[in-house]
Chain A
Amino acid sequence: MHAVYSFLTGPLAWVAFGIFFGGIAYRLVSRALLARKRDTAVFEYWSFYHALRSILHWICPFASVNSRRRPVLSVVTFVFHVALLAAPLFLFAHITLINEAFGVHWWFMPDGLADVLTLAVLGACIFFFVRRKVRPEVAYLTTAGDYAILALVAAPFLSGFWAYHQLPGHAAATLLHIFSGEVLLVIIPFTKLSHMFFFPFTRGYMGSEFGAVRFARDW
């Protein structure tokens, strides 16, 4: 068990973070070079002001027409993304591990809040799952991969919750937590989860086109 733990938190963690950061860098740089070659419009019409304006309208709930049309989904999506990023980044246990390894630390949230955020992520995953099942326009688009990604996103949160609360089998849950977290990091750059880092560019480009060339809103 200890050997597995050491492997997961040692070499595999290095590999996972390496692929995560390296993968994102590779995807962004190679995509930018391709755009330089084939989509010169992206650079030509890019406007930081209009890009930011559009991005802000689309990350704040209710700041776009479509967001106002779907209040429940807007709130769930917003809470989901905030919780998804905040819980792992500001978790006491994670920061302790990083502090022990590298001697750096930052603000952490109370464990109670982390629990709430974790449950929010899991609740949102269930919401998204049901939405994919019941809404015809979403069900039509949904692939097996979409469900797999949903499961892979939920896994570290579920196993983390399990481990923290010392539920039966928590030792295995701890290992599963670390492993599933690493799997998630590795797949982010190469799956639909790449929307994490492509979002500012797709939205920003449309915002630039609409704002600086078309003189129209895009929200």
Chain B
Amino acid sequence: MLDEPRNTQEQIYDSGIAKGAERLTPEKIQRVIQEMLAGEAGARLKTYVETCVHCGLCSEACHFYLSNDKDPRFSPAGKVKQTIAEMVRRKGVVSVDFMKKASEIASTECNLCKRCAMYCPFGIDVAFLMLFVRRICHKLGITPQYIQDTAHSHSATYNQMWVKDDEWIDSLQWQEDEAREEMPNLRIPLEKEGADFMYSVIGPEPKFRAQLIYQAAVIFNTAGLNWTMPATPGWDNSDMCMYTGDNDMMARIKKAHFETAMRLRVKKIVMGECGHAFRSIYDMGNRALGWRMPPVPTVHAIEFFYELLSTGKITVLRKYDKPVTIHDPCNVIRGRGLHEMLRYVAHAICEEVIEMHPNREHNFCCSAGGGVINCGPPWKMKRVNGNKVKAQQLFEAKSKGAVTCIAPCHNCHGGLEDIIHVNEIGMDLKFLGDIIYQVMEKPEQA
């Protein structure tokens, strides 16, 4: 079995990896790995690699393993064995082909969802190890092309989608105009110093999902909140450099974001429904800048909607009448424990909530996060087929009556959309904001 190709997508061509590898020599690989092991690898990396007793108990935590017929090469420890453990063991003396494979494994076969840390008796953080592999790949210039392009966009524009400064402002004003049809006094306040909070979104919102900004504006205006959005770079909270191992850029992006909030003298940052951006602000980007916790208090949309609903700032006119199920995104559930607030919100706005199993911290990943969906079209089918277990989970929820799936995270949304489509599951996908906008009591209705 192990001599067979890993799957039918074995020979996927990614120009970022392929062209980058053409410039590599075994000497350069050895030098970079040795520099990384001597310079950046710390106690955690060494202890994780040395402590793993090869028990295999992490395997069933991983959707890639479960979905690829339990091929052991897709187990978390199996991925470590094929990448960083081997680099450590051979002190960096590995071939160019080995590194191409390592880049593929770390960037397209692990969503960094940390579910395996909850299944490993030692709590070994395989996501941390895969990020280290990605960082080595970044230094060697063999990051998958699409996500590297996104990282370039961050470097050049401080946003993920090459959105130009004026386009950003135009998009907000366009959404403000649109929303005024519905709510004549609506504002999307730009650059309002001293507002209660700065609303921050990810690059794809102005680019592809502008209606989400519209909806957020309606919700905030209805609740009568004192808010603002920045008119300068720093508005985008997303961070793909965090996932390519470009730690310097990760820190610069987050610095721009925090400084924008500080310049506007807001009390806090409220984020849209995005998971990885929350990880960047709350977990990795802040740490890269030396902040134990974010320097500006940051609240994810789930928590913010929970506040608005539980304090009665927004009220529900008529609950969403289709049965819903909940997908728990890793970065805000395992990453911030918002699962009970998410359920509070779902129950407050929907007639019927049908739980998926497993759920909460134990939910299966969407297979899109951790930058995997950002590796683009070449890897799409590998990603979707690498999560049959999610399709099964969705089917089960559907068989219990769920018609709509709530996924309060952009990456989860993208991943689940593909899974639902390819497997013909026939389920609607919604953000919390979609439903709240639809069911809440709006001024003219009051």
Contacts and interface: CB of A to CB of B under 8 A. Distances in A.
**Is the A/B pair a real complex?**
yes
Interface of A: 31-32, 34-35, 37-39, 41-42, 44-45, 54, 58, 64-66, 69-70, 73, 132, 135-143, 146, 192, 194-195, 198-199, 201-207, 210, 213-219
Interface in B29-63: 40-44, 46-48, 50-57, 59-61
A146 B56 CA distance: 13
Interface string B73-84: 101011001000
B44 A39 contact: yes
A141 B51 CA distance: 13
Given A34-B43, A42-B44, A203-B121, A138 B51 contact: no
A206 B48 CA distance: 11
Contact of B54 (A41, A136, A142): A142
Given A141-B56, A192-B51, A215-B337, A38 B123 contact: no
B123 A140 contact: no
A217 B51 contact: no
Nearest to B125: A206
Contacts of B1: 136
Given A140-B2, A203-B121, A38 B42 contact: yes
Given A146-B54, A218-B117, A141 B122 contact: no
B53 A192 contact: yes
Given A198-B50, A217-B118, A44 B292 contact: yes
Contacts of A54: 123
Interface stretch (B14-22, B137-145, B328-336, B342-350): B328-336
A215 to B, nearest CB: 3
Given A146-B54, A198-B51, A202-B48, A35 B123 contact: no
B362 interface: yes
Contacts of A41: 287
Given A32-B43, A202-B122, 6 more contacts: A39-B42, A66-B118, A137-B59, A138-B56, A216-B335, A219-B118
B72 A65 contact: no
B400 interface: no
Contacts of A207: 123
B119 interface: yes
A67 B43 CA distance: 27
Contact of B42 (A34, A132, A192, A198): A34
B91 interface: no
A41 B77 CA distance: 23
A214 B56 CA distance: 25
